[in-house]
Structure 1
């Protein structure tokens, strides 16, 4: 009976329904009964954690709310809640305790579920551009010029080896020499040059190279668009990244079309 009265008083206290006289008496009762004070404290913390107004605001601003709501309604989550309730009731109603804590299962179960929901929000939260970059940036996706049955290495093979050996400045120099004298196979050489510039953190220069590729009449000109997107992702230029991805996804024949769609959805 006393437990029920405590719950009733606590509920009225949380809802601001106690008169000044009742509030004073309730505070005095908590001072003499540590178990009651502990219950009231836990209830206050839980109410703050599950504030309807805060949850409503969060629900309407979180892009992941639909995902979490669906997860929260799944059978295994509901079963987990039921398991908490059963275990808490079993543990807290043991005859060895002089004070029944069975009423605590409600805030404990809710607190556990709140913790799980918080973890899901963290796991499903929209990744940052910095987090996405390592997943998409594959600057080792380079064309190969080396032919194993050749006894001598031509300029293009030299460019590839310099890049593979991380001699990026030398790779750029040899690539420039080739581009100044050749009118064929320029796209692949420019890719090596652009990649080397990225490795040297010279992003503006790299964008110029990739833009030139994208605007050429080469059959694989759309590669330039994808590499531009990767640079924008690296420097966290969301506006230009979105514009570039929109250009790529305008045609499913463009290089990395599927990846561009995936990345575009990830940064929205």
Structure 2
């Protein structure tokens, strides 16, 4: 841990710098520390970002003791995610309401509570979603699935040509265009759609982080009751892994590991063991 972080006036120094209350010597010392102290720099960036988000005094006077050490980085990641929008709105609503009531002491307490709630949620979210080990696993599993997909090439009809074009776009990682092609194909084919299009399309949505549509494609695959449909639970697990939905991921992995003959049973068991440690 940084020696700088061990000081009781940790946030006061950051505030003093951002408020332009340091003299030239203090500024030089602080900026030199920023260049060599990664943890301090990340906390400084968090403070700067939060000031941009709340452009008045509320954030400055709030209780930020919960933001020390590496948790500051976790919270910064959370606030940059879409999941934080509702929390930010809630905090803003609390601030607005307490201003109207003009109860300064209760106002300060409310800010501290709101920040603590945000932090508690953020830790549970970022500890899982931003874990580099899980990101690496997702990338490995995705490449494995993408690389083993059957080909549409040389099937000999206009419809299959459409699928071939979609496949080429997918292989080039042009997922937006691949989605357009597979979408047209599925609309024209309706119930007779080649179930592989659900996999290609679902994986394309997944890479673009359109999780709801990726899940829809894999649920269509599951309902097809074909040989390929056996992959649906594992593909849904990949959605939850990338999306950071730990609860749904664990539930899905448990369904897969109930039967050793299920698709990717070994991978599912390995991932489940890592999550339940």
TM range (shorter): 0.3 to 0.5
What's the TM-score once normalised by structure 2's chain length? 0.46
What's the TM-score once normalised by structure 1's chain length? 0.47
- Decide which structure has the larger Cα Rg and report it: 1
| Higher percent of residues as helix | 2
